[in-house]
Amino acid sequence: MTYFMSAVLGFVQGVAEFLPISSSGHLTLFQYFFCMEAPDQLFNVLLHFATLLAVCVVYWQDIWEMIVEFFRFFGDMFSRESRRERPPEARRMVLLIIVGTLPLFLVLPVRHKIEALGSNPIFVSCALLVTGCILFLSDQMARGRKTAKSATLLDVLLVGVAQGCATIPGLSRSGCTISAGMLRGFDRRFAVRYSFLMSLPAVLGATLLEVLDVLELEGGIPAENLPKYLLGMAIAAVVGYFSIQLVKLLADKGRFGAFAFYCWGAGVLFLLLNIMGWPLVPAAA
């Protein structure tokens, strides 16, 4: 992998992680059709971690309030004072994120098989077509009113199931979770906010598991690739910050349908390229 390709993939990740067009699908397809070596799963995970930093910057106030309320919760457990009032919104948000993350544990036993699907460009291209259908339907949904104060545990559990399904390469995590939230009656702004905040434990967990796998199999991160990894991560984080702002604007206006047409076009294009035998020079094993 060259520095130029590292920068390109970092840009693709920063855009595609938050715009509902599947970052994992685009990364694997770009690596395949540009004749790169077999998809570098560690690099892909590190790019996801970089965009997680962008989420932390945009939603730093929410994250700080949730951290404070998390520790206050344990303090209240040992307090003699009786607290009957409703918990603060930030504390309830912590509970909603924990419940929404639970379905990912069902994915853990088969995560390597799911990751392997990314090596099949036809499968990923078809998954992009499915993402387009999900986005198109999400634009047809009526505006909901549920927020962190009124969303139920069943609501967020079903959004979590959507997040688990979106581990399939080619399915957009943000597209699936935001659409699932809208289906359950979430306010559009809350659907976006919850989707991005729910990604924090998911991406942190995936990063940790992948790094542990590399340390076990290879004894460490290849030193010669580290500068390229850092370059891609820096670009992904910066581009990701601006992508989040764009998604917040588009979701509020109900403009996800435009991305449906993009996913359909990209899926068809990659399918045609594969049928035509691209890349002409097979990727290195």
pLDDT band per the 50, 70, 90 thresholds, residue 281: very low
**87 SS3 class:** coil
The reported pLDDT for the residue numbered 282 is 44
What is the structure's pLDDT at 253?
73
Confirm if 17 and 243 have CB atoms less than 8 A apart: yes
Q: Output DSSP code: residue 146.
A: B
CB 101, CB 160: distance < 8 Å: yes
Please indicate, yes or no, whether the overall pTM of this predicted structure exceeds 0.85: no
Indicate the pLDDT class of residue 70, thresholds 50, 70 and 90.
confident
For the record, the structure tokens of 212 come out as 């542990």
Task: Quote the radius of gyration of the chain (alpha carbons, Å).
Answer: 19
For residues 170-197, b (16+ Cβ closer than 10 Å) or e, as one string? bbbbbbbbbbbbbbbbbbbebbbbbbbb
Residue 80 has pLDDT above 70, yes or no: no
**Mean pLDDT of all residues in 53-73:** 91
Q: Which of 17, 24, 67 is nearest to 235 (CA)?
A: 17
Phi and psi at 184, nearest 5°, equal -85, 5
**Which residues have CB under 8 Å from 13's CB, separation 6+?**
23, 26, 27, 44, 47, 48, 50, 51, 232, 236, 239, 240
Question: Which tens digits make up the pLDDT trace of 137-193?
Answer: 887 877 889 999 999 999 999 999 999 999 999 999 989 999 999 999 999 889 989
The separation between CA 203 and the C-alpha centre of its own chain, rounded to angstroms, equals: 7
Rounded to an integer, the average pLDDT of 28-54 is: 78
Q: pLDDT: is 206 or 246 the higher one?
A: 246
Find all residues with CB under 8 Å of 225, minimum gap 6, and list them: 1, 40, 43
Q: At what angle do helices 226-253 and 3-16 cross, to 10 degrees?
A: 20
**Across residues 89-112, what is the average pLDDT?**
91
> Higher confidence at residue 76 or residue 64?
64
The confidence score (pLDDT) of residue 250 equals 79
Q: What is the pLDDT of residues 1-29, one digit of tens each?
A: 788 888 988 998 899 888 888 888 888 88
pLDDT digits 0-9 by tens, 214-268: 777 666 667 788 899 999 999 999 999 999 988 888 777 767 778 899 999 999 9
Grouping H, G, I as helix, E, B as strand and the rest as coil, residue 40 is coil
Contact 40, 171 (CB under 8 A): no
Share of the chain above pLDDT 70, in %: 90
Amino acid at 140: Q
User: Where residue 100 falls among pLDDT bands split at 50, 70, 90?
Assistant: very high
Written as one letter, the residue type at 100 is G
